[in-house]
Structure 1
Amino acid sequence: MATATTSSSVTSSPSVVSEQSAAAAARAARRKAFFANPGSNFFGVLLALVWLIPVYWMINSAFQSESELMAWPPHLLPQDFTWNNFITAFTNKNFWPALGASLTAGALTVIFASGGALLASFALSRFRFRGRTMMIIAILVVQMIPAEALFISQYRMLDGWGLLNSVIGLSVLYIGTIVPFIAWMMRGFVDGVPVELEEAAMVDGCSRVGAFCRVTLPLLVPGIISTSVFGFLFAWNEYTLALIVLSKDSAVTLPIWLQSFQQGLKATDWGAVMAGATLIAIPVIIIFVLVQNKISKGMVAGAVKG
């Protein structure tokens, strides 16, 4: 038993050493590449810092008191650190209903828009049927129509269906708005999966549906996640459609809820606005942290490696 354990550890140690050497070589290559073009890298870091300034200022302002927010020159760090702005946001009577409405609209948009777009993209990519080219052109044309041009017809449509001031009605508009773009995006992912993989599965006895579910669908997971994240962000951050469809204070999404801190001629509570904006940004950050590997992974790499 001891001999077997010793031999297994000895045989496994070269692979561990090789993996560590490969990781060290990769880190050295990245450092070498970074310092090989210092000008370009410095410019990239500068752009990243410029992009982060509004995010930093939002979070910084969320922890400042009203007097600090109005002070000149502005404070780069909170001098009187306070949680009052977040308490104001949390205790607002419409915060939790607005959070529920945004989550519901985002979930419905992701489920139905991604599902419909997946089937549409697969049909456009795999089948040659009459009207296919016109359908692709129609998808592009729909994307060129300004959203504002559809507001009146969309409002009257939801009014006729009795879905005004309803998250379901708002979700219907979100799904119809985002499906063409998601289908166009997902078509590129479907085109990237070799059709020969499905044909091989069908030769082995799978039906077309079985080949799609067992072969193509697992390879499309990164694409599905990428487009689903885009659809969720659209529903989570959308403002104008929600402003038109949801007119009751008790039925609003989070972007509309932020307006509650600006009331007519009264002064705007900027601390609460920044705290609310920070709360709205937290789920987005969490989602990106959870799915960033899936987004960046190549969907065909698994088939090639296997």
Structure 2
Amino acid sequence: MKISKKAAYKGIIYLILTLGLIIVVLPMIYMLSTALKPNGALYEYPPRFFPKIKEITLENFQYILRQKKFGNNFINSIFVSTVTVAIAAVVAAAMAFCIARFRFPGRKFLFTFIMLTMIIPGTTLIVPQYELAVKLKVINKLSGLIPFYVAWVIPYSTFMIKGFVENIPRELDEATYIDGGSVFTVFFQIILPLTKPGIASVSIFNFLTAWEEFPWANTVINDDLKRTLPIAISGFFGQHQFTQWGYVFALSVLSLIPILVVFISCQRFFIEGLTAGSVKG
């Protein structure tokens, strides 16, 4: 029985995708299985990938949930990430609208400058950012995180949303102006609703950036109750000369819940973006 080239090609593609899926999923499975093990079971020999049924325990999760400071860290991360996403979405959409729709001196230079800021590594800016934070008196405050996170994600967000704005027919803007609408009417009633897929996609990126950021938060925040989750997770490493991996992975699993909620919430906008224009009424 001969196998056609097309079938062989599909088989190879499926094999590669399956291997890629295994590579991506295995660390997550290991993280969850470790979180369900007693702390001592992690060092048993020979090691086991999955715990025995009788060994499965929720003590690591119970310990995390009983700690008040971790609840505060969780709320801090939610607050910082949500505010960052909201501010960045509005500012980036407004900038993308201005650059895409209006012709003014320095427009191309402004857009080029915004793009150039994307190639600057964030860690190289920690010292000047810290000096700025000291002058603004936002050290050891959540307000010392949000403005800087917004500044980091604005360039990429503007670049992405600008592409969506440029695909919106200008005739919609002109019709709004003829009906007596202002620039703000066009922005809030035309541009924002029609760029939801773009805003949703960059919002996921922005949420992840703020949610996972470690170096700057570790530099600015010193109070345990004001720290975000990445700093809380790092606190278990080397604590009392012993890394409590069960607690680390339990907190890591809990920290994935908001990310999944954000992705699922924004998923329908991706579908709208894929199907936009496929049906003409």
TM-score (norm 1): 0.83
- Alignment deviations for residues 28-87 of structure 1 (CA, whole Å, 9 cap, x no partner): xxxxx9998222122112211211111111111110112321123332322100001111
Q: What is the deviation of 1:271?
A: 0.3
> Who wins on radius of gyration, i.e. which is larger?
1
Instruction: Give the aligned partner of residue 57 of structure 2.
Output: 82
Q: What is the deviation of 1:125?
A: 0.8
Instruction: Give the aligned partner of residue 241 of structure 2.
Output: 266
Q: Identify which of 24, 43, 63 aligns with 1:51.
A: 24
The separation in 2 between residues aligned to 1:252 and 1:206, in whole angstroms, is 45
Instruction: Give the aligned partner of residue 230 of structure 1.
Output: 205
In the alignment, does 2:259 pair up with 1:284?
yes
Choose 142-151 or 272-281, whichever is displaced more.
142-151
Instruction: Give the aligned partner of residue 23 of structure 1.
Output: none
- Alignment deviations for residues 127-182 of structure 1 (CA, whole Å, 9 cap, x no partner): 11111111111112211112122111111111122110111111111111111121
Choose 264-273 or 113-122, whichever is displaced more.
264-273
Aligned pair in 2 of structure 1 residues 213, 265: CA closer, same or farther (>3 Å)?
closer
In the alignment, does 2:87 pair up with 1:112?
yes
Q: In structure 2, the residue corresponding to 1:298 is in which secondary structure?
A: helix
The separation in 1 between residues aligned to 2:171 and 2:278, in whole angstroms, is 11
State whether residues 192 and 300 of structure 1, in contact with CA within 8 Å, keep that contact through their aligned partners in structure 2.
no
The separation in 1 between residues aligned to 2:223 and 2:77, in whole angstroms, is 15
Q: In structure 1, the residue corresponding to 2:145 is in which secondary structure?
A: helix
State, as a whole percentage, how many aligned pairs show the same letter: 32
Instruction: Give the aligned partner of residue 27 of structure 1.
Output: none
What letter matches 1:210 in structure 2? Answer: T
RMSD of aligned Cα (Å): 2.2
Q: Identify which of 171, 187, 203 aligns with 2:146.
A: 171
Aligned pair in 2 of structure 1 residues 227, 167: CA closer, same or farther (>3 Å)?
same
The separation in 2 between residues aligned to 1:128 and 1:305, in whole angstroms, is 31
Q: Identify which of 69, 72, 90 aligns with 1:94.
A: 69
Task: Specify every segment of 5 or more residues in structure 1 that has no aligned partner in the other structure, as ranges.
Answer: 1-32
Instruction: Give the aligned partner of residue 183 of structure 1.
Output: 158
Q: Identify which of 184, 187, 194 aligns with 2:169.
A: 194
In the alignment, does 2:20 pair up with 1:42?
no
Q: In structure 2, the residue corresponding to 1:73 is in which secondary structure?
A: coil
Aligned pair in 2 of structure 1 residues 302, 34: CA closer, same or farther (>3 Å)?
farther
Q: In structure 1, the residue corresponding to 2:224 is in which secondary structure?
A: coil
Instruction: Give the aligned partner of residue 3 of structure 2.
Output: none
Q: What is the deviation of 1:294?
A: 1.0
State whether residues 193 and 299 of structure 1, in contact with CA within 8 Å, keep that contact through their aligned partners in structure 2.
no
The separation in 1 between residues aligned to 2:267 and 2:228, in whole angstroms, is 26
State whether residues 34 and 41 of structure 1, in contact with CA within 8 Å, keep that contact through their aligned partners in structure 2.
no
Q: What is the deviation of 1:264?
A: 4.8
State whether residues 94 and 187 of structure 2, in contact with CA within 8 Å, keep that contact through their aligned partners in structure 1.
no
Q: What is the deviation of 1:210?
A: 2.4
Instruction: Give the aligned partner of residue 29 of structure 1.
Output: none
Instruction: Give the aligned partner of residue 71 of structure 1.
Output: 44
Q: In structure 1, the residue corresponding to 2:68 is in which secondary structure?
A: coil
The separation in 2 between residues aligned to 1:201 and 1:300, in whole angstroms, is 25
Task: Specify every segment of 5 or more residues in structure 2 that has no aligned partner in the other structure, as ranges.
Answer: 1-5
Instruction: Give the aligned partner of residue 240 of structure 1.
Output: 215
Aligned pair in 2 of structure 1 residues 95, 265: CA closer, same or farther (>3 Å)?
closer
The separation in 1 between residues aligned to 2:153 and 2:238, in whole angstroms, is 32
Instruction: Give the aligned partner of residue 109 of structure 2.
Output: 134
Aligned length: 274
Aligned pair in 2 of structure 1 residues 290, 151: CA closer, same or farther (>3 Å)?
same
Q: In structure 1, the residue corresponding to 2:241 is in which secondary structure?
A: coil
What letter matches 1:53 in structure 2? Answer: L
The separation in 2 between residues aligned to 1:89 and 1:123, in whole angstroms, is 47
Q: In structure 2, the residue corresponding to 1:295 is in which secondary structure?
A: helix
